[in-house]
């Protein structure tokens, strides 16, 4: 399909570009180092971690998975993060979410050194994004970065366009809106209290769906020629589906991402990008 944005193929292209940089680091004496912390045995989390480990290995990044019991207490997890913060061989730390209910996710995220926060969730990194600071110590959230990269790689103009973001999470909705603002789009954020969602989405030149409700966006909610980026990942009858009713919306869209195979692979590619950036910051 000519209007399909193949995130899997684009992510592979990006990883191939990064391989040379990783080789350069190896020649300088130290590969980039990524440590992923997985608490418990949530099947989805285990799958995500496996994909991240595979991507890191393929690139030549030193990757370690620390698997912890579901029953680990918060203090023990904080002590592990402290050790990783002090480890010069670790450039990036990623604590796989969600965490068990007895552990405060915000406390854990804030404990990660901002320059090792390759997930881009630390308040200092989100603050740098929201205040428009462009510097080598700013790490943006991987999924929003992947969205922008997809648009760029397809040659889709962002500046001057009307972008509508459906969803206001700190992981996707808010940061992707700010990244679009940085690129001079006019941005509307919609959410569960938006009075007339369809009226807003029909104005979009670029529509980002990131709310976690299967098939929420239907063909009557978009205009002809819209660019649709579907960030949703929902299980419906055992099948992965997005927030967009793909089969009907694709007939009106100039470009559209599938689920799976759209934004997901880009998220992992951007994690690798952030890990390489962290290695550049930390030096030898």
Q: Which residues are catalytic?
A: 52, 96, 119
Q: What are phi and psi of 66, to 5 degrees?
A: -100, 110
Burial class (CB in 10 A: 0-12, 13-18, 19+), 20: exposed
**Is 218 one of the annotated binding-site residues?**
no
Report phi then psi at 229, rounded to 5. -115, 115
| The length of the chain, given as a count of residues | 284
d(CA 229, CA 184): 18
Q: Please indicate if the annotation marks 54 as binding a ligand.
A: no
Q: How many DSSP H helices and E strands does the chain contain? A: 10, 10
Beta strands in the chain (DSSP E): 33-39, 62-68, 92-95, 162-166, 186-190, 206-209, 227-230, 234-236, 239-241, 255-256
63 in a labelled binding site: no
Gyration radius (Cα) of the chain, Å: 19
131 is in an annotated binding site: no
Binding residues for NADP(+): 167-169, 233
Binding residues: 167-169, 233
């Amino acid at each position: 399909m000519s209007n399909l944005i193949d995130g899997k193929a684009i992510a592979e292209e990006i990883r191939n570009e990064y391989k040379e940089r990783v080789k350069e680091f190896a020649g300088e004496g130290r590969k980039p180092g990524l440590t992923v912390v997985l608490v418990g045995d949530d099947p989805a989390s285990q799958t995500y971690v496996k994909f991240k480990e595979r991507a890191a290995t393929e690139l030549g990044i030193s990757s370690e998975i620390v698997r912890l019991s579901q029953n680990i207490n918060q203090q023990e997890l904080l002590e592990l993060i402290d050790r990783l913060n002090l480890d010069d061989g670790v450039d990036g730390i990623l604590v796989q979410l969600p965490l068990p209910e007895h552990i405060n996710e915000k406390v854990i995220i804030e404990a990660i050194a901002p320059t090792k926060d390759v997930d881009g969730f630390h308040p200092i990194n989100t603050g740098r994004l929201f205040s428009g600071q462009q510097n080598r110590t700013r790490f943006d959230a991987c999924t929003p970065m992947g969205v922008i990269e997809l648009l760029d790689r397809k040659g889709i103009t962002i500046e001057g366009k009307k972008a509508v973001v459906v969803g206001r999470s700190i992981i996707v909705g808010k940061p992707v809106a700010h990244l679009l603002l940085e690129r001079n789009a006019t941005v509307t954020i919609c959410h569960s209290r938006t009075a007339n969602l369809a009226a807003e989405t029909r104005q979009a030149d670029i529509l980002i769906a990131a709310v976690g409700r299967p098939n929420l966006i239907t063909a009557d909610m978009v205009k002809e020629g819209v660019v649709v980026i579907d960030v949703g990942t929902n299980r419906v009858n055992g099948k992965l589906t997005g927030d967009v009713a793909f089969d009907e919306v694709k007939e009106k869209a100039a470009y559209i991402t599938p689920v799976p195979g759209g934004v997901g692979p880009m998220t992992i590619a951007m994690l690798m990008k952030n890990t390489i950036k962290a290695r550049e910051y930390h030096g030898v």
